[in-house]
Structure formats: C-alpha cells, structure tokens
A and B are shown apart, each in its own frame.
Chain A
C-alpha cells in the first residue's frame, strides 16, 4: 500500500510543495514502554524498559533500571529477571533471566513488571515457526535504484514449508553480515500465512545483498496479537501522512495498565548462506 501511496502522491501532485512546519503539540504524561521477548533459543530472552518522550525531544528515550520483572510459564515456573547484571553501558534498561531459562513451543508465558507503584502484565503463547530448508542466492532481475547504487544486486531465495492447516503468523528478520537489517520506512517484515502457499519455493527475502555478503534469514513465530502489534507498528512508522492511510493509532498492545510496547513469545528458525557468483 505504501508504494501505491507514493505513486499517488507523485502523480496527483505535479506541482506539489512540501515543507517543514512547527507542530503545536500539548504535553502528555510519559508512559512506560515494555519490550519483552521469550524464545526457544538459549540466551535469547530479555525485557527492555524505557519511557516515552515528547515529540520534539530527540536522542535515546529515558531507561528504567529499578523495576521488578518476572516471567511465569503455564506450568507455574517463575523466572525472575535482573537488570543488566554485567553492567554493560549499552544495556541499561535491559533485564535478563537470573538463572538459565529457555522457552518452549506450545507454552504460554506471563510477564509481570512492577515500576514504582504500577504493575503491568501481559500473556503470549509460543507457536511453531516456519520450517526453513535453504537459502539460495540469485541475481536480482530488477534491482531497485538504491540497491544498484550500493552494489546489492543479489537476492536470496527462501525455500521451506508452511503448515497449511493452521493459521500462522511470522516475523522475518534478515541479517546482512550478522547485522539485523532495519529499514524504518518499511517496518518489520511480517507474514500472514494466508498469502503463502504450503510449499515455499524461492520466495525472495525482502533485502538485497552484495557479492560475498553473509546472509541470514530468521523466522520468528508470532501469535495473532503479536502480528497485529507489528502490523500496527509498521502502519505507524511507514504512514505517508494519513491521506491515503487510515488515521494513525497506537498499535494494539497486550500489556495491561496503559503501558506501550509488547511482550512476545516466539519460536525461531534460521537459514544462512554466503552470497557468491
């Protein structure tokens, strides 16, 4: 839809003009922002706590380092999370399990966060991820101008299976030389299995590569709530101004008590390749 919107703007507006204006925005109270992830991979569980900032305030948002955080599974196991135990300067606001803990498929997890006198909680269930078989590099027949400029003329094609019988949602992470590719104007790459065939035969990953790049494609299973959250987040961050999109609204969070963000339980699968001629 984004491309359509851009095209519409481009066409309708032969004479259009765009300029920066000052927004007269009322100050709103800051909110607690929670980003929680439990996976079935060892060492990949964390909760990040921050606060919101005003529109014209730039730079990193304030971190919350004094909260009490626990994750409980549906068997009654309680896992306390602690704040940045190794005191990394770039990990302020991050909470990790006190003792080794890995999630498993089919379990439900409950996050509880206490900040000052307020308690926020959320529940998410871990579904299976897509089965990924292989990743095959191939020359992109029509690379975008931007990719051409950067020499990224290769696609990577994903092969795998998707269980057609269940209704599933996925988040696709693509890593270029072990760095997560993040394009703020495209949003996260989410997939609703409705648009997928059962056999995935060479679907190009949404990111292009240069020769000799290392490519990794990762699939994270999402609950329906998590999918809707990412969809909402993408709409919010990629919106072209409310003219062609529906009016922006906060993504639907699973967190209670008015906290922003999401608590997500995901199974992870991955495939990797070196991009060669």
Chain B
C-alpha cells in the first residue's frame, strides 16, 4: 500500500545534509527543531511498551499496524510513536519472550496507547496469540546485532551456579570465546580490547571476575543486553569491533520484593521497591566465598570478588524520568600475605529522559567510570606496588525525533575527559635500592557528534544512514618523550622531552565515521540486508599475554600512538517461517583494520617507562560467514550458531614483518543450546560448544648458549592447539508454590563439561623434570606440556524471591 508518493522536501534536505561534511551535522543539529514543526497530514499515536509484571520498559519491542507494512520499534525508554491517517487500526505489539498483544484503536486525533506485555512463561496454558508473528527478525533494518534472551539465559547451564550473560554473548554468531578462564570474547576478527562494554552507558574495561569464571554482570539486575557487531548506530563509537550494551532493570514501582540465590561459589541478594509513588529503587549485592573455603582448607591463598549495584528512579511526570545507577565491583587475590593483586570497575550514570512532545525525546546522561588494577609484593628485599588506572567523566546528550512514519532521526553529542595512569611502581621499602618509577600520565578529551536517520523509501526498502565525527585530543600536562634512532631494531634512544602545559594539545585526531544500512523485504518472510560501518578507536589496550587478562594498561592515542580504524562490510539474508516460530539468518562480512596494536618481538614489558616504544601498529583483516537458527517459542526453545572465519595480522616488527594468524583466529565455531520445559516444575537445558584450537607460538628446535638450552622460534602463531569442545547440562526444579506464602524458590542443578573434556588452555615446552622437579640428565631432553582447566564440575544453586 503506497501511502505517500510525493517527496517531502524535508527528506531531501536531510538526504543532502547527511552527505559527509561536518558543517552538515552542525546544520542538522540546528535544523532538528524546525524540522519537526513541518506539518504532516497524519496523526500521532504513541505510548510506552512495558512488561506487565514489573512495568519495565521493553526496549526494541515492535509495533506493527496490522494489514499494512507500517511499524516501528520502541526506543530505549520503551517509547514508540507512529504517524497514521485517521481511521481504524489494529496495532500488534511484540517482544522476544513475551506474548504478542493486539490492540484495536480508532484514530481521530493524536492519542496515547500504552501496552503491557505478558511474559510467556508466566501462564501455564498456552494462549498464544498467533494472529501475528513477531517478525522483527526480518523487518528490522538493524543487522549484525544479537540480543541476549534473558529468559533463556536464566535456564541455561552455568559454571558453579551463576547465570552469566557474557557466556551467552560468547555463544553468539560471529563471536569467539577467548576460552576458559576469561570473560573476554572476540568479534569478527577483532581483538578483545576492541569491544566496548557498557553498563547503563558507562564503560566497563574488564568484565571478568575470578579470571572469567564469572562476569561483572549479575543476571538478577540485567534487563537487556545487546551486541552490535556491525551496522552500528552512530551513537556508539570508540571501539573497532563491537558494542555490548547492557541495561540494568528499571526498579518496579510495586511492593517491596526481596530475592537472591545461594550458589556453590557465590551468593547474591537484592531488594526492590518503592519509596513513594514516584520513586523506586533496587539494590543488589553479590559476593563469592571461595576465600572462605580456601581458608577452611588451610590454604594460605585467598581469592574473592564482589559486586554492588544500585538504581534510584524518579518518574517525575509523564514526560520526565530521572535515574541514578551505580556500580562497583572488585576482585582480590592474596597469596600468603606475600603477594596480592586486585582489579575492579566503578561506574555511575545519572540519566534524565525527557519527552518534549509525542515525537521528540531526549536523554541527557552524566557518566563516570573507572578501572584500575593493583599488584603488590611484600617481598622483604624489594617490596613494590604497581598501580594502573583509566578514568573518565563525561556527558552525553541524545535526541530521537519521529518525523512522520517514514523517518526517525537520532542525533547527539558526547564529550568526556579521560585520564590514564598507566603505571606507578613505588618501592615501599624505606631503604630500598630501587627507585620509584612513574610512567607518564595521559589525559584526553574525547568528543563525538553524530546523526543518523532511518528512512523508509518504499514498502520494501528502508535505508539507515548517518555520520559520526569523533574528535580526540590528547592534552597536557604531559612530558612527551621524543625518541630518535631506528625503532624497528629496538636501538632507539631518548632524544628530548616536550613539555606540554595543562589542557594544551599534545596531538589531536578528527575522524569521520560513515555508517550505512539497507534492508530490502523479499516478501513477508524474508529480507536482504547490507551494511557498512567505519569505526575508530582511540584507547589502546597494552596487554602482554596471548589471552586477555585484567592486567591491561590502557593508553590513549597521542604523540606515539595513532588511532585504530576499521571498515566493515556485511551482507545478510534473514528468514522467518510462516507456520513455525523458527527464524534463521546467514551473514557474510569482511573487515579491514589499520593501526591495530601489538608488542614487538622481544618486547620488554614490565616496569618499562619507554613501553610505548615496544608497541607496533599495523594492519589486520578478517572475513567470515555466520549462520544462526533460532526457535523462539514453545516448550522447546533453542539456538544453533555456526561461524566460519579467519583473522590475520601484518605488523612491522612483529614476526619479522610477515603476516600471521591473529591470536583470535579460529576457523570453525559452533554453539548449540536448547531449553525444554518438561512441565511447570521441571526444565532441562543444555549447551554444546566447539571451536577450532587457538594458534600458538612454539619452538621448532633447540640450541646451546652458555649454560642455557634455548628454543628456536621460527614463526609467530605457527602451531595450533587441539580443538575446544564441551557439553553442559542444567536442570531447574521449581517446587509448587504455596499459595499462602509469598516465598518462591527454585533449585538449579548444573553440570559443566559433562564428558570432562580436557580442553587445551595453553601449551609450553620445558626440559624434562623428574617427580621432585629436578632436571633429568643434562636438561637437554625437552617435552611439550599442555594445561587444561576445568574438568566436569557439578553445582547446585537455590534462588528465592519473597
């Protein structure tokens, strides 16, 4: 049905302005106000889509006008807005994990229509409204995005009983788990530091607890988690490979609820309630007690972590909502009081969401965040303390304009001040023979201005295009050391020092990041999508290991480091079956990256004030195909994801300048998960994952030098570890609730690595040793040793609510 064939002059203006000039963005920002004033012959129908049980906004819920191709998706506040000609319509509301809801409406003037959706698992009998299917998979223009299905994640097997959304992210198509013992993941050939992880908009620099056994995201308080690995909206930027946008739940305004869980290794508790009819809150805490067990086991070593989350929400008026969300988490390890280390994130976000009218919405956020790690040795002779941190404070202003049924405009501005303390090593002895070493501090001002517009060209074709201008300024006070001499051979010398004053520019970088997506409907059931995005990264993780660890020093682009950038092209085919709640998609991508960072061969990494001279920047490229099949409804739900991909790097000074397979190059990755609800008391879930082994650098021979028996290395990442695969199973038992009691509980029995596969964690070579650790013979007999981490681990968790 062709609603409008004449071209609206404002659309032309926008199309022209969206071509790539900076002035254009400024103009759009200026014009945004007047634009909306242009009269349309249609009326506005708008409202909020919420979860019926707790009144939480359902981000991304779809609203369709039955019998037409019109539709929209709810924004970050659960808000939607549609323009319709006067008449009678039926609106269909859909959201993953919720029942489809249909509302009939007579449009005679602008009106508000809210929808409260019911979760699918709350009712026993299936009253599934099958009049309309959820077709957002095919119709949404956004490709290369995966949403964590929280309902399913809560049922899936866990490690030692803690539900972890990062584990779900690691199983998504195009995502590769960095392996056991880490929360890191690799997206489409990018390294782990190229993922931006946000908690309510604040950056989380390291998402791991206990070396990745858990993540910082306590599933009790997570509402939504979405991973963008391509076609990224312009409001996101700053990292090359992905954005993981995690939103914590909105506190329910009803009566006080207390919930929690008692697990094998950690326990958690949360409370949620209302302080008045406008103000609601939640607070949650989680702590591990491995340290308690270790102490009981007479272990001198201790390890622990905790998470604290809190949110306060003020629903000031129909159009205004203010929320304050806080997080703090930390890991502590202590080895017999001789040596200890810790790391942690702190984040705070103050949000003000405002509706100017039923078509223009804004969100103003104050965001602070910090990550640090600390290593301390109490060694008598050379006690030291090593501390490194990255901090930021900033502001973000976003505006969404629903300019009629054909247009949705997003625009905004973001500014933050970042300060980096890459490392201070302080000798803590009073008469030590060691000096304190302070690595240079860095500061930066990171700004971005962005606009994108969703533009429905016809019933079949929708475009989404935009531009982000990122401006990164490395500023003083700073003593910039300049080096002379050949960098490649490591024979450089310090030349002189440039003194840069407070807030003076050391170096600044401006980058334009065009983004483009297109969706073409092939019919009701399938669509083709394509996207291009450029991403720029100005913070660089300087990590030494081949597998990501929390001890990452972050440095900004500046005098010595240039910004990294990536161009990503993707195409995809998306399909939903008419008769079954099954959808599948296939996507292919090519990614070209420049100035990715890597340490040079033989880099001196520890306590090195000239660390920046050990970093090399070069190119990287990756390509792959991702297949995903999902069954979203019914007694059995499940997902199959398969990715074939490759990732290469070529960096001067690394592997003698020859191209090599990146650490995150895994050819085949398969993830299968399924949940089967046997009845209302028993649910069984299982998960299987397979991945090609990690490339690793090993020796090819040996030689003698002095007393040393040294390895010969011929090629970086020239050897491949065996494949990694594992099956996990979980059973959830929900006892029949006593109607007279508010108490609700459930038991989760989990088995990790059911067939106890010895998955390779790492491999190293050494001289053969006897049982007491002494060299056999002259030490020239060598062997290769492989370490694997977790065998079969059963666990039990009890979750409760009252």
Contact = CB atoms under 8 A, between A and B. Distances in A.
Contact of A35 (B491, B702, B706, B711): B706
A16 B781 CA distance: 25
B549 A241 contact: no
A247 B434 contact: no
Given A241-B763, A246-B599, A252-B602, A18 B711 contact: no
Interface string A223-237: 011001001110111
Contacts of A204: 381
B16 interface: no
B113 interface: no
Given A58-B777, A242-B697, A249-B602, A19 B707 contact: no
Nearest to A21: B786
Interface string B333-349: 10100010100000000
Of the listed residues B303, B433, B717, B767, the one surrounded by the most CB atoms of chain A closer than 10 A to its CB is B433
A45 interface: no
A236 B707 contact: no
Given A35-B706, A200-B433, A242-B546, A28 B767 contact: no
Contact of A235 (B433, B434, B602): B602
B724 interface: no
A187 B341 CA distance: 25
A61 B784 contact: no
A241 B764 contact: yes
Contact of A12 (B211, B700, B765, B781): B211
Given A194-B437, A250-B712, A25 B602 contact: no
B704 A55 contact: no
A186 to B, nearest CB: 11
A58 B782 contact: yes
Of the listed residues B546, B547, B606, the one surrounded by the most CB atoms of chain A closer than 10 A to its CB is B546
Interface in B700-755: 700-714, 716-717, 719
Given A237-B709, A247-B546, 14 more contacts: A8-B549, A10-B301, A11-B335, A15-B789, A19-B786, A23-B698, A52-B701, A53-B702, A184-B709, A184-B767, A196-B435, A243-B787, A244-B545, A261-B703
B301 A243 contact: no
Interface string B673-715: 0000000000000000000000011111111111111111110
Interface in B409-444: 431, 433-435, 437
Contacts of B793: 15
Contacts of B706: 35, 182, 188
B609 interface: yes
B520 interface: no
A17 interface: yes
B482 interface: no
A17 B713 contact: no
Contact of A61 (B605, B702, B717, B764): B702
B85 interface: no
20 contacts: A13-B789, A17-B787, A18-B787, A28-B700, A53-B703, A55-B702, A56-B782, A180-B707, A182-B706, A184-B775, A196-B435, A200-B433, A201-B433, A232-B602, A241-B787, A243-B762, A245-B544, A246-B545, A246-B599, A249-B601
B786 A55 contact: no
Query: What 5 A-B pairs are tightest by C-beta distance, nearest first?
Result: A241-B764, A249-B601, A58-B781, A52-B703, A243-B762
B277 interface: no
Contact of A197 (B211, B433, B705): B433
Contact of A22 (B544, B655, B711, B784): B784
Nearest to A58: B781
A225 B492 CA distance: 11
Given A28-B700, A61-B702, A236 B711 contact: yes
Interface in B769-802: 775, 777-791, 793
A253 B116 CA distance: 71
B433 A249 contact: no
A247 B718 CA distance: 11
B256 interface: no
Nearest to B603: A246
Nearest to B338: A142
Interface of B: 181, 210-211, 301, 303, 333, 335, 339, 341, 375, 380-381, 431, 433-435, 437, 489-491, 544-547, 549, 599, 601-607, 609, 655, 696-714, 716-717, 719, 758, 761-765, 767, 775, 777-791, 793
Given A18-B785, A26-B700, A55 B765 contact: yes
Contacts of B712: 28, 31, 52, 250, 260
Contacts of B714: 28
Of the listed residues A13, A55, A252, the one surrounded by the most CB atoms of chain B closer than 10 A to its CB is A55
Contacts of B380: 141-142
A60 B780 contact: yes
B548 to A, nearest CB: 11
Contacts of A59: 778, 780
A51 to B, nearest CB: 8
Interface in A24-76: 25-26, 28, 30-31, 33, 35, 50-61
A203 interface: yes
Contacts of A248: 697-699, 711, 713
B768 to A, nearest CB: 8
B602 A228 contact: yes
B780 A58 contact: yes
Given A12-B211, A195-B437, A249-B716, A23 B785 contact: no
Nearest to A242: B546
A243 B786 CA distance: 11
A236 B381 contact: no
A55 B767 contact: no
Of the listed residues A28, A61, A224, A249, the one surrounded by the most CB atoms of chain B closer than 10 A to its CB is A249
Contacts of B758: 17, 19
Nearest to A180: B707
B699 A17 contact: no
A28 B780 contact: no
A243 B490 contact: no
A239 interface: yes
B546 to A, nearest CB: 5
Contact of B544 (A33, A182, A228, A246): A246
A21 B434 CA distance: 42
Contacts of B784: 20-23
Nearest to A244: B545
Given A184-B709, A249-B713, A50 B704 contact: yes
A52 B549 contact: no
